[in-house]
Structure 1
Amino acid sequence: MKPEDNLLAAIAGYVDTLSFVALFGLFTAHVTGNFVLIGADVAGFGQGVFMKLMAFPAFIAGVGLSSALVKVARPHGANCSAALLYAAQALLLLAFCLSGVGAEPVISAGSLPVVACGMLGAAAMGVQNAHGRLIVRGGVPNTVMTGNVTQAVLDAIELVSSEIAADAKTAVRTRFGKTLQAVACFGVGAIAGALAYRHVSFWALLLPFALLVWLALAARRHGADTADREALPDSPR
């Protein structure tokens, strides 16, 4: 599992928890969780139903933007595509940060600045969700942990089973380790996101913004190095 996969899992937990505590229970990464909250809001057990509804088209817009960027960058390789997606998510998170600061104090879930803030967060995490689908990676999903926890439990059962061959257990053990890393990083990110929001409010989003800029630059640099190696003439035999 590449180090950036664990970092992305931490970013997802961080942003999702920050948006949840800051924006009346809005999920930005685990966007389908908003269905439950919309149902609760309709029944009078919450607030912000309009913002949660608007998170869906914003999330879809983030996915659509990702697809368009990958199609543009595809001739230049996977690293170029990844760099563009990291950069797009970083810019959307920066906009999320600044819009949140501008909307403070956040006291009304239905105000337009607060709704716009939530939509920018959902669009940013739509890009990250699409990233794992559009760029071939060897890791595990890094935005929603329900499937990862399920897989980890199934793998743990197989590892203690006497009916599984030794070579098969090796592959299961490798996957189990990757899955646990992603879940742990997501959890650490979730705790950090809540604590950071408590202390510095929406300015806390500058941390994942900076991390994504670093990932974009690293992917671009790696792509350039790969292109240079491919352009070198074959060594004489």
Structure 2
Amino acid sequence: MNKDIAKLMSFIAGFADTTGFVALHGLFLAHVTGNFVTLGAAVSQGTSGMIGKLLALPIFCITLLATRFLGNVYEREGRSAFMPLFAFEALLLTFGAFLALYHGPFIGADGSPLLVVGMLWVMAMAIQNGIHRIHMKGCPPTTVVTGSTTQIMLDFTDLLMGKQSNIQATKQQLKGLLSSVFFFALGCASAAVSYSFVSIWCFVVPPVLSVITLYLLRRNPLHNSD
């Protein structure tokens, strides 16, 4: 079950990241460190959009602190924080989408509505990142794929050279990593196509998928051993 949820979460993250980039003037929502690059470009070219790029990483970090804190509180009580955290992620995505539909399309890159929408979705992606680290340790990352791509190439090279002692385990890991990268990329492509056809309405997709994920989790609770 974890693997199916991970696929959905990878798609959501890819979709959200691309939506932010195309609809929020180059703001990365999942791959927040990418904003360093776009911030540098904005500074060198004298373009707008610097405020959101400056805010993204601090907001991301503060949200992760809160995520970890809540997780520890639930752990002390003998409960899992996965469902409450993911429900809050879904709420942030939904509220952000509502504001995007109300205020968008966004003309200025530093306007307050754009910044609020962007930071709400940055918080949502931070929670998803924290959820993976805490509750889905056996699954590949769902919000960024650089590390996964690196590991794919390393494992693939080792398999070709026959260096792996446990071939079956490596193949299984490779399969999971490829799945994560594929669904993230599929989410990116879907967001790009959606934006070209329905513009700001593409913000609706991640909240809907997050609600579907919650429904699946309620029917089949996640287990760390999956």
Which structure would you say has the larger Rg?
Answer: 1
Counterpart code for 1:213: V
- The match for 2:95 is 95
Give the TM-score of the pair, scaled to structure 1: 0.85
Give the TM-score of the pair, scaled to structure 2: 0.89
- The match for 1:135 is 135
Could you tell me how far 1:76 is from its partner in structure 2?
A: 4.7
- The match for 2:120 is 120
- Confirm or deny: 8 A CA contact 2:29 2:56 kept in the other structure: yes
Once residues 73 and 128 of structure 2 are traced to their aligned partners in structure 1, the CA distance between those partners, rounded to angstroms, is 17
- The match for 1:159 is 159
Gaps of 5+ in 1: 227-237
Could you tell me how far 1:190 is from its partner in structure 2?
A: 0.4
Q: Does 1:77 align with 2:75?
A: no
- The match for 1:21 is 22
- Confirm or deny: 8 A CA contact 1:83 1:215 kept in the other structure: no
- Confirm or deny: 8 A CA contact 1:19 1:28 kept in the other structure: yes
- Confirm or deny: 8 A CA contact 2:17 2:31 kept in the other structure: yes
Could you tell me how far 1:170 is from its partner in structure 2?
A: 1.3
Using the aligned pairs only, state the percent identity: 35
Counterpart code for 1:103: H
Q: Does 1:189 align with 2:187?
A: yes
- Confirm or deny: 8 A CA contact 1:15 1:193 kept in the other structure: yes
Pick from 200, 203, 206: which aligns with 1:205?
Answer: 203
Number of paired residues? 221
Counterpart code for 2:106: V
Could you tell me how far 1:201 is from its partner in structure 2?
A: 2.8
CA root-mean-square deviation:
2.1
Once residues 83 and 214 of structure 1 are traced to their aligned partners in structure 2, the CA distance between those partners, rounded to angstroms, is 13
Once residues 64 and 163 of structure 1 are traced to their aligned partners in structure 2, the CA distance between those partners, rounded to angstroms, is 39
Per-residue CA deviations over 1:98-147 (Å, capped at 9, x if unaligned) read 12122223111111111112111111111111111121431111111000
Once residues 200 and 110 of structure 1 are traced to their aligned partners in structure 2, the CA distance between those partners, rounded to angstroms, is 23
Could you tell me how far 1:24 is from its partner in structure 2?
A: 1.0
